[in-house]
């Protein structure tokens, strides 16, 4: 239901990133290594993802690099 703040809506693109993070962690990668991999793959940071994909949910968080 649109506008229902109690209903979770899955963002398929973000869900794929979360799966990738869990896969990397399961392989034994550290959080620092995972961050480096995501940066190398140019995966948007959460604030940049919200700004580009869901501007209605973007709260103006400042960032200098949308991948770092």
Distance CA 22, CA 29 (A): 10
Please report the DSSP string for 5-55 in residue order. Answer: TTS----HHHHHHHHHHHHHHHTT--HHHHHHHHHHTTPPPHHHHHHHH-G
Residue 1, pLDDT score = 46
In order along its 68 residues, the chain shows pLDDT tens digits of 456 778 888 999 999 999 999 999 999 999 999 999 999 999 999 889 988 888 887 788 888 899 98
Residue 4, pLDDT score = 74
Quick check: 24 and 37 in contact, CB under 8 A?
A: yes
Distance CA 66, CA 58 (A): 13
């Amino acid at each position: 239901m649109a506008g229902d703040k109690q209903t979770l809506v899955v963002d398929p693109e973000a869900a794929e990133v979360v799966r990738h993070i869990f896969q990397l962690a399961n392989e034994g990668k550290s959080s620092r290594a995972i961050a480096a991999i995501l940066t190398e793959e140019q995966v948007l940071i959460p604030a940049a993802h919200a700004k580009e994909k869901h501007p209605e949910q973007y709260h103006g968080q400042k960032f200098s690099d949308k991948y770092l």
